[in-house]
Structure 1
Amino acid sequence: MGGAMLPPGEAGPDDVVLAWAGADAIAVRLPQLADSLDHILAALERRHGKSLADLDRKTKQEIVRVLEARGAFSVRHGVETVATALGVSRFTVYNYLNRERET
């Protein structure tokens, strides 16, 4: 997901500090959700072995279902980002979402 490890003393208020045997061991800085979406899209491309835009319609619909389950569309500009990655319009992504919600 693109997180970074850092010394516990450098942890900010949004970082997660992990302890071991009662002592702070390491801090993890998680990326912003929008950055995570880019990582998720890249992982999906690697899994399918080609650009998401080159996938067939059924596979794109499945990807939209997976992304919705992972909260991708709660991110600002999430629909636009996914539409661009899939090589479709925002309207098409909304249609995929509406179709999924109806079933």
Structure 2
Amino acid sequence: MDLEAEFTTEPFLAERHGEPPEHATRAKQAALDAGLDTTFGPLGTTVRAEDEILLAALPEIVRAAMRGGATRVTLRLNVLPAQEVPARHGLASALEQLLGEVAAELGGDLADLTRADKQRAVRLLEERGAFSLRKSVPAVAEALGVTRFTVYNYLNREDT
């Protein structure tokens, strides 16, 4: 069975120069070291894996966060229904196709777009389901020439 765990580490510290706190980066690194499919965001980290792999990795993730200065780790654990478990192949090419479509629609290389057009690109990708694909945020950030945190900010931005 596949599981998804989302964990947050506290205290929430104001980001300095766009850098997350050490306890968050240590927890993320422990998840990556365990080979987990990891999505790192400003409000938490999500990991997905088979139950035995994920459950075995959680103690080290928590220890890493605490060693990095966390005073609290909050964990949410879910069993993924079969229809939510992503296929383990072909997703990279699907994301590449979506990135190519959006680049063509916006008239150029995504990294060369203005800030407003990059925000529009993220909205278009979200509408088309790009962020449901594995490792999509880092790939989109690389294509846009921005950080993952910037992509998350664009995703959380409310249009006014």
- Indicate the residue corresponding to 2:142 in structure 1: 84
Looking at structure 2, the residues matched to 81 and 57 of structure 1 have their Cα atoms a distance apart, in angstroms, of 17
Gap runs ≥5 in structure 1 = 1-30
- The count of residues paired between Structure 1 and Structure 2 equals 72
**Higher RCO structure, 1 or 2 (CA under 8 Å, sep 6+):** 2
Aligned to 2:90: 32
Amino acid at match of 2:117: T
RMSD, aligned CA:
1.9
Q: Secondary structure at the match of 1:88?
A: coil
Map 1:1-103 to 2 at 5 A: 32-100=90-158
Partner Cα separation in structure 2 for residue 44 and residue 93 of structure 1: 15
Amino acid across the alignment from 1:52 = L
For residue 76 of structure 1, give the secondary structure of its aligned residue in structure 2.
coil
Once the two structures are aligned, what percentage of the paired residues are identical?
A: 57
SS at match of 1:41: helix
- Cα distance in 2 between the residues matched to 1:98 and 1:46: 24
